[in-house]
Amino acid sequence: MIRFLFFLACCTLSTAQLQAQDRVFEVEAGQWRFKNSFNVPGLRISDSRTTTQCLSTSEAQKSLSEIIREMTGGRDSDCSVSNLSDLPGKISLDINCQTNEAGVQLQSSGRMSYEYNRTSYTGAVFGNIVLQGQKFPYEGQAFAEWIGDC
């Protein structure tokens, strides 16, 4: 549930809305270190993880819609995007997502921004989750760096 809330809150886009601006992002293939944190203080959710992963050449090249689809487990159609800014080295957007998970109504809205290059990225997200009519602020951070060959 924590992973789903994180992705719903910070990383979901409507694939159809991005089709015109969809492009391929490419990073270095090899070993990567990922550090992510996500906090929803009002729900007592606090998650921080550090992982490493070896990315093949094909895994190091993905379109924005592919990345979003994977991050949301295919739930990207539950969200809409506005104020998308896709500049070299930086992406920012506003998101609004609504879903009904096991009979629980969940809405999320917020702002996401990432700065990136071929060997690293940093990102931040903040906003609100509305769960059964009650609003809970959230925040998250992400950092990744290429650490060498696999």
**Closest C-alpha among 118, 115, 125 to residue 145:** 118
Q: Is 146 helix (H, G, I), strand (E, B) or coil?
A: strand
Separation CA 60–CA 34 (nearest Å): 14
Q: What is the pLDDT of residues 65-114, one digit of tens each?
A: 776 566 555 666 777 778 888 888 888 888 788 887 777 777 888 898 88
More confident residue, 92 or 18: 92
What is the pTM for the complete model shown? 0.73
